[in-house]
Structure 1
Amino acid sequence: MKALRAGLTTLTIVLGAISAQAQECGGDFEQWRAGVAAEARADGVGNAGLGALAAAQFDTRILARDRGQSVFTQDFDQFAGRMVNAYRLRNGAANMKKYAGAFSQAQQQYGVPAPVITAFWALETDFGAVQGDFSTLNALATLAHDCRRPALFRPHLIALLKLIEQGVLPADVTGAWAGEIGQIQMLPGDYLAEGVDGDGDGRVDLRRSVPDVILTAGRLISKLGWRAGEPWMEEVRVPNDLPWAETGRTNRLPLSQWAAWGVTTRDGGALGAGPDAGLVLPMGHKGPAFLVYENYDVYLEWNQSFVYTLTAAHLARRLAGDPAYRLGNPEPGLSPEQMRALQEKLVALGHDVGGIDGVLGVNTREAIRKEQMRLGFPVDGWPTPRLLAAL
């Protein structure tokens, strides 16, 4: 109990500091809200939407969540091992069967296969079971007022007011802490622009109507760049002497080239025909390996976290019938504290790591690859104690 009180005291101090910072950066909340109201009114929002805005509250808990997304300090095996579980695989298969008609329509209209939509649906809300209990209005008002990403969230706040004005959503709608709504966790601007009436009842309900959810997800994924009929990811086996500097998501090469270097299918067979692909090594050259195609980039458009996108893509492959990936024997990684120490060294060497946060993001991986190349290490983007010591 004593430790709990100490923790709560620390949290109170942190939240107070966040609140003071946001008020200073975003200015007076009431004055800021008046500016949003004027913009919304000019954009066609009437009394219902403006009345909802008048009741919006600044919530320091939202900023605490925004600053502390520690889940992304996990490595791929930790995150995927937790998220790709028996419940999601079992219920995903059952839902693809139950709503086969809606999935078929989504594939016909947008070219997106059922396993791809289902994987996002599973990871976002466990098929609608966990949609979030934060006030969407307060979340978006807080994030739009905050100085970190106001240009991103202000349009979504006004879109929410439009949805309230139209009667699509109630003013007290709840969702995720970052303002996403419904079973696939869409921000209001996307809800407004991409929502599809999948069940033909004359309205788009992404909280309760599964056909609406499936068709809307298909449309959004298509708009993000999905290429119908093409693969997104394939697990492979790699040799010990691959030219590692040629690996990486963006370095797409013909499958014939990967085959010439000794890359095979997961079970050791020859690679088939297909578009160019990059080779991703989420835990280094001794860990799991995946060929990723242009469709994989759509996952990064959905969520920019490397571990989330690779997990979503793998879950989709599992739902399509693939077995679990082979972990291999990766070298030990770094703790979040060690990752921050590594990022500090990389910054000192002139690299842009996207912030010293202990997260192995895209920028940090690229900086690691450059230093591995300079030091003569296998260029796989995986941070190890050996690399940290060498720097």
Structure 2
Amino acid sequence: MFRLIVCLLFSYSVFANDTLAPKLVPEGQSFEEFLSDIRQQAITRGVSTATLNQAFSGLTPNPKVLKLDQTQAEFSQNFWRYLGSRVSEYRLHNGTQKLKLHQQILQNNYQKYGVPPHIIVAFWGLETNYGNNTGSLSLVRSLATLSYDERRRDFFTEQLLTLLSLIDEHKIPINAQGSWAGAMGNVQFMPTNVAAYGIDADQDGEIGLWDNTADIFASAANFLQKIGWKRGQRWGREVSIPSSFDYQLATLSVKKTVNEWRALGVKTADGQTLPNSNMQASLILPMGYQGPAFLTYQNFRAILRWNQSILYALSVGHLSDRLAGANQLVAIPIKESSLSRDDIMHIQTKLNQLGFDTGEPDGISGPKTRNATRAYQRANTLPIDGYVGYQLLQQLK
């Protein structure tokens, strides 16, 4: 669910007018009738009539939001393009300055929550470019639009109702703005995350995720701690693998100790022996067997619980390493065309026709599509890495 949050950072082409927008559903229910249903649910939760009257006054759905919901960058950018645009020299420079500027409060948070300063700043950088892009769309309108749309109605209805409760409790201003997906503030929390993990660090009665660094850093650190971040552990590392490696093992569903990976020939990125460790780890190949390899630990999975995109999680990890003084990746970037949603739908459709089940084609390269790709690769004596990329598209064409 959290992969929605990062999308604020990207540029999109949006509809010029409402007539071109995707159709709002369900059929037969007007937006006014929908708001009436939401009003009753909110009242049941204790939200005041005054708050609801103010929030829903003149409210209309925003068709641009639905378009943005269907064009997220995780679905179309390959690893190197994604990483290059997120871990830029600009972001590194500004992140280093932010670490120095907020050193004391970040260290205090580290002592309390166990999340290092460079990790918090990396999230901050990727989410909103250190607060420069917190969003300019009405949170109420965006979430009402997404809740009215049937595609993920349950999820967004819960977000909308939670937002209304936060507004009624004066924790979030009624005119608050954020991303098209309803994410808010410097670290782009969804309303349910604000309610569950938001910290009023200075105890002023508000959870100030827009301009209160004490609340921003404490909320982010508290969230990471609660979703599994382990104090004193790294997120992962770049590694090298032998040419004879069984690429089928490169998936988050396979866990082995570092010692077991070492026995299989996995080494550090520069070819050194991995340290002696029984820490559980998974190997991932974000661009297949020809791209970089990463050994990822428990804290990588915590990052994924913040945002379910593997590309996003790797970017957070690498940016945090660079902010802590590490060098660039050892792997040499591969120039490869990115895939559009239509490209991925073509892959899914073709695999289905060949008997490799990807489910209903949706243009999203998820676990089922990767598993179908592995089955196709196995049947055709190809490297079984499950990578849904340009080479696979050409093979299927």
Q: TM-score, normalised by structure 1?
A: 0.89
Further displaced range: 180-189 or 337-346: 337-346
Q: Deviations over 1:181-214 (max 9, x none)?
A: 1000111121122111223444321111011100
1:306–1:361 contact (8 Å) kept in structure 2? no
Tell me which residue corresponds to 2:370. Answer: 365
Return the alpha-carbon distance in structure 1 between the equivalents of residues 328 and 97 of structure 2. Answer: 19
Return the alpha-carbon distance in structure 2 between the equivalents of residues 353 and 78 of structure 1. Answer: 28
Pick closer, same or farther for the CA change 1:118–1:331 going to 2, 3 Å.
closer
Tell me which residue corresponds to 2:20. Answer: 14
Pick closer, same or farther for the CA change 1:174–1:88 going to 2, 3 Å.
same
2:387 corresponds to which of 363, 379, 382: 382
1:281 equivalent to 2:285? Answer yes
2:86–2:315 contact (8 Å) kept in structure 1? yes
Tell me which residue corresponds to 1:356. Answer: 362
Aligned positions of 1:220-369 closer than 5 A = 220-274=223-277, 275-328=279-332, 330=334, 332=336, 335-336=339-340, 337-348=342-353, 349-352=355-358, 355-357=361-363, 359-369=364-374
Aligned positions of 1:63-82 closer than 5 A = 63-70=66-73, 72-82=75-85
* Structure with the larger helix share: 1
Return the alpha-carbon distance in structure 1 between the equivalents of residues 359 and 313 of structure 2. Answer: 19
Q: Give how far 1:11 is off.
A: 6.2
2:15–2:63 contact (8 Å) kept in structure 1? no
Return the alpha-carbon distance in structure 2 between the equivalents of residues 373 and 346 of structure 1. Answer: 13
2:171–2:205 contact (8 Å) kept in structure 1? no
Pick closer, same or farther for the CA change 1:81–1:9 going to 2, 3 Å.
closer
Return the alpha-carbon distance in structure 2 between the equivalents of residues 330 and 225 of structure 1. Answer: 33
Return the alpha-carbon distance in structure 2 between the equivalents of residues 87 and 354 of structure 1. Answer: 40
Return the alpha-carbon distance in structure 2 between the equivalents of residues 69 and 292 of structure 1. Answer: 24
Q: Give how far 1:328 is off.
A: 3.1
Q: Deviations over 1:87-135 (max 9, x none)?
A: 2112212222222222223222222222221111111111111110011
Q: Which runs of 5+ in 1 are unaligned?
A: 1-6
Return the alpha-carbon distance in structure 2 between the equivalents of residues 241 and 84 of structure 1. Answer: 31
Return the alpha-carbon distance in structure 1 between the equivalents of residues 391 and 209 of structure 2. Answer: 48
2:18–2:63 contact (8 Å) kept in structure 1? no
Tell me which residue corresponds to 2:216. Answer: 213
1:233–1:317 contact (8 Å) kept in structure 2? no
1:333–1:383 contact (8 Å) kept in structure 2? no
Paired residues, what number?
A: 380
Q: TM-score, normalised by structure 2?
A: 0.88
Return the alpha-carbon distance in structure 1 between the equivalents of residues 223 and 246 of structure 2. Answer: 37
Q: Give how far 1:71 is off.
A: 5.3
Return the alpha-carbon distance in structure 2 between the equivalents of residues 152 and 290 of structure 1. Answer: 32
Structure 2 counterpart of 1:356, which letter? D
Pick closer, same or farther for the CA change 1:328–1:289 going to 2, 3 Å.
same
Q: In structure 1, the residue corresponding to 2:282 is in which secondary structure?
A: strand
1:35 equivalent to 2:41? Answer no
Structure 2 counterpart of 1:295, which letter? N
Aligned positions of 1:108-257 closer than 5 A = 108-257=111-260
Pick closer, same or farther for the CA change 1:351–1:172 going to 2, 3 Å.
same
Tell me which residue corresponds to 2:52. Answer: 50
Q: In structure 1, the residue corresponding to 2:41 is in which secondary structure?
A: helix
Return the alpha-carbon distance in structure 2 between the equivalents of residues 254 and 167 of structure 1. Answer: 48
Return the alpha-carbon distance in structure 1 between the equivalents of residues 202 and 236 of structure 2. Answer: 31
Tell me which residue corresponds to 2:8. Answer: none
1:239–1:263 contact (8 Å) kept in structure 2? yes
Return the alpha-carbon distance in structure 2 between the equivalents of residues 225 and 309 of structure 1. Answer: 14
Tell me which residue corresponds to 2:97. Answer: 94
Q: In structure 2, the residue corresponding to 1:196 is in which secondary structure?
A: coil
Higher relative contact order (CA 8 A, sep 6+): 2
Q: In structure 2, the residue corresponding to 1:251 is in which secondary structure?
A: coil
Q: In structure 1, the residue corresponding to 2:253 is in which secondary structure?
A: strand
Pick closer, same or farther for the CA change 1:390–1:72 going to 2, 3 Å.
closer
Q: Deviations over 1:260-319 (max 9, x none)?
A: 222211222111134121111111112111101122112221122222222222222222
Q: In structure 1, the residue corresponding to 2:298 is in which secondary structure?
A: coil
Return the alpha-carbon distance in structure 2 between the equivalents of residues 155 and 29 of structure 1. Answer: 17
Tell me which residue corresponds to 1:4. Answer: none
1:244–1:378 contact (8 Å) kept in structure 2? yes
Pick closer, same or farther for the CA change 1:354–1:304 going to 2, 3 Å.
farther
